[in-house]
Structure 1
Amino acid sequence: MSDEPQQGFDTLQVHAGTAADPATGARQVPIYQSTGFQFQDAAHAARLFNLEEVGYIYSRLTNPTVGALQNRIAALEGGAGAVCCSSGHAAQIMALFPLMMPGCNVVASTRLYGGTVTQFTHTIKRFGWSAKFVDFDDTDAVAAAIDENTRAVFCESIANPGGYITDLDAIAAVANKGGVPLIVDNTSATPYLCNPINHGATLVVHSTTKYLTGNGTVTGGAVVDSGKFDWSASDKFPSLATPEDAYHGLNFHKALGPMAFTFHSIAIGLRDLGMTMNPQGAHYTLMGIESLSLRMDKHVANAKTVATWLESDPRIEQVTYAGLESSPYYNRIETICPKGAGALFTISVKGGYDACVKLVDSVKLFSLVANLGDARSLLIHSASTTHRQLTPEQQAAAGAAPNVVRLSIGIEDPNDLIADLDQALTAATA
């Protein structure tokens, strides 16, 4: 971390991690569309491969455009380092990979994106890992779920799809007492609305596909390391704190300190898993981040306006937006998300499953897509799509029951969004 005075968020989102291209003077980060990078000589190549010198080897591992994005996201999150990869789902595996071994488990919130629940329920079993799902509003239950084989606690800052806000400070205290890192998916909040590291998180993951890029053009993911966790405090994390057989016996934590996790994720994770972000995708995300704060302010203002209107509509049973005073999570905004509760929430429609299907089929301005965080307003019926693979009990726990529609509010004129929902609700509940 630099000893220079900390700059404001609006400055960091434009300048952090980048400078004029030293070869050409290009002010925007160039797209380095190259698989390999020429070494100065054999000794230079050896230093790079031994992690004795930072540089570029091969774009599966390191690339200047992707590197600029990693530096910017790390700066915005207040982390020691970051690694970017091909998607948010890839970021979750990348976050767990240095921590887990066969027989280990992660304690996860029940309020997660449906794809994450599926990944943690089924896919990670193929690695010999497992997940325990707990209601994170019950901190005693979270503490009780942590056992000798637990290697991480995982939650979302603003949970998808319901927009629930997690008490990160309380969960971080539980994780810290259990001697394991807290991993927070900060996709829905972005570092503009929430800084999980300031609330005790060790790792922060993102689907950069969403708000960070903001324009629905490329997929990507990122893992940010706080650099504050002591990987050597116990014998739980041998990949980071004991000699690594796959890297000439290097002890990453001893040799690299606060950058141990980041370098391991590049030198081992990207090398062997290959979940690489492409440089053009990184370029799009860098451009998107430049306007992040401006967009998030508009997202939040629109979401509050639309949610307030929906809450008063007799065709709606419930609105889950945490920015409403009626929300049980309203009192967490001031401490966890002081700039707003995001722009993601659900509505329960009178008429149940059939009415929800008619609603999503009747919108004209909203787009029916399996994405969120776009500049455009989006909606989806989670129970029949993103959460379809879950059991009814899991759907209900995740806030994706059959009578629920997820809304991702964009940056359009809010009156136009309300008008579109009004006519669609009329068609859905006629």
Structure 2
Amino acid sequence: MSDDAPQYSFETLQIHAGSQPDPATGARQTPIYQNTGYVFRDADHAAALFNLQEVGFIYSRLTNPTVAVLQERVATLEGGVGAVACSSGHSAQILALLPLMSPGDNVVVSTRLYGGTVTQFSQTIKRFGWEAKFVDFDDKGSVSRACTKKTKAIFCESIANPGGYVTDLPAIAKIAERKGVPLIVDNTTATPYLCRPFEHGANIVVHSTTKYMSGNGTAMGGMVVDSGTFDWSASEKFPSLSQPEPAYHGLKFHETFGALAYTFHGIAIGLRDIGPCQSPQNAFQTLLGLETLSLRMERHCENAKKIATWLEDDDRIESVSYAGLKSSPSYRKGRKLCPKGTSGLFTFKVKGGYEACQKLVDNVNIFSHVANLGDTRSLIIHSASTTHRQLTEEQQEAAGAGPDVVRVSIGLENADDLIADLDQALTAALA
């Protein structure tokens, strides 16, 4: 779509943003450019590309035509200026932090995060000399006090996996602004159809496109989206973006690229040197999934609310954690930040504890026992023994993944069939 195109709706943009008919063949669907290198017009063209003086294709670790369409489409749907696609959600988190952090720096993060993210932040990033400070984001004072001169970002999930907790993004964004650091929001569970973090003060959004964006469990991927609103030169906190870059003969990313500085750094430094690029095949599959994102999210939300309501009324269930229920502490925040619905992911506590939870997941028929979410198929997992197994009991409880908790990702099947499946599985688990 051209730069001067009208302001189209989300449903139109999820199909058309970033794509044009293929100029060589007229093919309407974005082709899969299964290619590694690209021929330069001449020596000057090659030099200009490598000097970041001209935008184009060099090598598919950096840029690829299929991946470029996906990047522009997701950036458009989120309301950002640019995006960097990568191989997974976890690689997106590292790429998001790379331009910001130096050894000795820290990031303030929510205690309510996906278990793999907790492990990545509490353990793996130490190898870079980085530190994560875990804070209950309901306690705004603690979030503010956790920020020091070495804090380079604040990180949270819009709708937390697994418990469906909704973060008060406007309040956290105000803290980030006062501290002079960007707010990074993982918007995987909500997707831009349900929540647009930039409209609530966030500066950077990350995604695991593996989930709702691709939508059917076929394609791995991640995405880092930049709002273009953060002033990287306002302080000396972010030298990688504001100061001369030795690898490009003293080029200053923010001075040179302005609002696109962070995106260009993610490609020219992040993908160049770490290399977690997204394959064109996976980008193509994700583009196909995005074409139906709004339709799918509406059905995910509708099914999830019906099933969560049924579970909440069942005597075998201790409690249900779903922001779409009025009993949820996140209900009002969910209505404000996600007016179209609060996604298809939630947890519930089973009377009978750890053993009953494991028996439940062993006795479902329609639900699949899978460590994923956002699929067309309904998925179920006992987080404490799987995705959150590496965490301490205290970390599990803080993340909403205690030993008596089951997580479900509600798919697009008939809701009554899913309720019947859970009913018989609960009967077997508690027999």
> Does TM, scored on the shorter chain, surpass 0.5?
yes
Aligned to 1:244: 245
- SS of the equivalent of 1:98 reads coil
Cα offset for 1:6?
A: 1.7
Aligned to 2:198: 197
Give the unaligned 5+ runs of structure 1: none
Cα offset for 1:51?
A: 1.2
Aligned to 1:163: 164
Aligned to 1:411: 412
Aligned to 1:136: 137
Residue 180 of structure 2 aligns with an amino acid whose one-letter code is G
- Post-superposition CA distance 1:25-58 (Å, at most 9, x none): 1100000011000001111111111111111000
Count, aligned residues: 430
Aligned to 2:275: 274
Asked if residue 285 in structure 1 is aligned to residue 302 in structure 2, the reply is no
- SS of the equivalent of 1:405 reads strand
- The separation in 1 between residues aligned to 2:98 and 2:85, in whole angstroms, is 14
- SS of the equivalent of 2:90 reads helix
Mapping for residues 325-336 of structure 1, pairs under 5 Å? 325-336=326-337
Residue 414 of structure 2 aligns with an amino acid whose one-letter code is D
Aligned to 1:93: 94
CA change 1:178–1:2 in 2 (3 A) is farther
- The separation in 2 between residues aligned to 1:250 and 1:269, in whole angstroms, is 16
- The separation in 2 between residues aligned to 1:2 and 1:113, in whole angstroms, is 37
Residues 132-141 or 2-11, more deviating:
2-11
- SS of the equivalent of 1:28 reads coil
- The separation in 2 between residues aligned to 1:137 and 1:5, in whole angstroms, is 40
- The separation in 2 between residues aligned to 1:147 and 1:336, in whole angstroms, is 28
Q: In percent, how many aligned pairs have the same letter?
A: 70
- The separation in 1 between residues aligned to 2:160 and 2:230, in whole angstroms, is 24
- The separation in 2 between residues aligned to 1:50 and 1:59, in whole angstroms, is 17
- The separation in 1 between residues aligned to 2:313 and 2:174, in whole angstroms, is 38
Cα offset for 1:2?
A: 4.0
- The separation in 2 between residues aligned to 1:76 and 1:225, in whole angstroms, is 12
Aligned to 1:427: 428
- The separation in 2 between residues aligned to 1:314 and 1:293, in whole angstroms, is 34
- The separation in 2 between residues aligned to 1:32 and 1:287, in whole angstroms, is 15
- The separation in 1 between residues aligned to 2:309 and 2:335, in whole angstroms, is 19
Aligned to 2:319: 318
Asked if residue 14 in structure 1 is aligned to residue 15 in structure 2, the reply is yes
Give TM-score scaled by structure 1 length: 0.99
Aligned to 2:351: 350
Aligned to 1:306: 307
Cα offset for 1:247?
A: 1.8
- SS of the equivalent of 2:134 reads strand
Asked if residue 27 in structure 1 is aligned to residue 28 in structure 2, the reply is yes
- SS of the equivalent of 1:106 reads strand
- Post-superposition CA distance 1:46-101 (Å, at most 9, x none): 11111111110000000000000000000000000000000000000000000000
- The separation in 2 between residues aligned to 1:44 and 1:27, in whole angstroms, is 29
Residue 358 of structure 2 aligns with an amino acid whose one-letter code is V
- SS of the equivalent of 2:206 reads strand
Give TM-score scaled by structure 2 length: 0.99
